[in-house]
């Protein structure tokens, strides 16, 4: 089954995560509050790029995201967790159910335009914060997000199927959440 787009963005961010220096970003991020509403956005402009992550609201922080297994090992598959490596700490969110929904929908509806061999696919679902995964300022974080994953993509026209070669894509993962930091 084809797993491009959403799968690749989380794997690619592992490389980009090392490019952010904690000292530089920590000074710019705001101190997290006790808990409340948050909003997360992660984005990448191709399979080759790393994703940038920003969390606003009671957490004002930013950094990188990466796909990890239940044991915290980096993986090209992202059917378990996305680690948010922010300037003041990190935590993981569960993406297994969103991944299943995305793959199922993508293989059924892409491309939405056979004439241009392009399309957009979106799914929405819960992404709970993994218990005990927090570090630094997020050591005791609990809660979760209601995320939407959207992939806009243009593929090679010759074959024009979900397995066509990718020319370009934009991947956005975004949505609100509620967290407690106590």
What confidence score (pLDDT) does residue 35 get? Answer: 87
What confidence score (pLDDT) does residue 28 get? Answer: 52
Position with higher pLDDT, 19 vs 113? 113
Query: Which tokens in the block code for residue 59?
Result: 């957490």
Residue in 60, 129, 52 with CA at minimum distance from that of residue 88: 60
- Sign of torsion over alpha carbons 107, 112, 115, 116: negative
CA dist., res. 106 & res. 108, Å (int): 5
Band (pLDDT 50/70/90 cuts) for residue 7 is very low
Determine what percent of the chain falls in helix, strand and coil, rounding each to the nearest 5: 20, 45, 35
CA dist., res. 94 & res. 98, Å (int): 9
Helix (H) or strand (E) run with residue 50 in it: none
pLDDT > 70: what percent of the chain?
A: 80
What confidence score (pLDDT) does residue 47 get? Answer: 56
What confidence score (pLDDT) does residue 67 get? Answer: 82
**pLDDT tens readout for residues 106-127:** 889 988 899 999 999 999 999 9
What confidence score (pLDDT) does residue 162 get? Answer: 77
């Amino acid at each position: 089954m084809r797993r491009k787009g959403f799968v690749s963005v989380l794997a690619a961010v592992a490389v980009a995560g090392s490019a952010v220096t904690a000292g530089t970003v920590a000074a710019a991020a705001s101190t997290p509050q006790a808990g409340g509403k948050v909003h997360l956005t992660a984005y990448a402009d191709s399979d080759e790029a790393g994703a940038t992550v920003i969390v606003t609201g009671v957490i004002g922080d930013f950094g990188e995201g990466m796909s990890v297994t239940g044991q915290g090992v980096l993986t090209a598959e992202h059917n378990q967790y996305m680690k948010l490596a922010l300037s003041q700490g990190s935590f993981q969110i569960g993406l297994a159910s969103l991944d299943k929904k995305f793959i199922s929908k993508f293989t059924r509806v892409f491309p939405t335009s056979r004439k241009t061999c392009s399309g957009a696919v979106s799914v929405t679902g819960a992404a709970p914060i993994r218990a005990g995964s927090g570090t630094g300022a997020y050591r005791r974080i609990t809660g979760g997000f209601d995320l939407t994953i959207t992939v806009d993509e243009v593929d090679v026209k010759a074959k024009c199927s979900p397995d066509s070669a990718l020319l370009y894509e934009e991947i956005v993962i975004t949505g609100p959440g509620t967290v407690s930091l106590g």
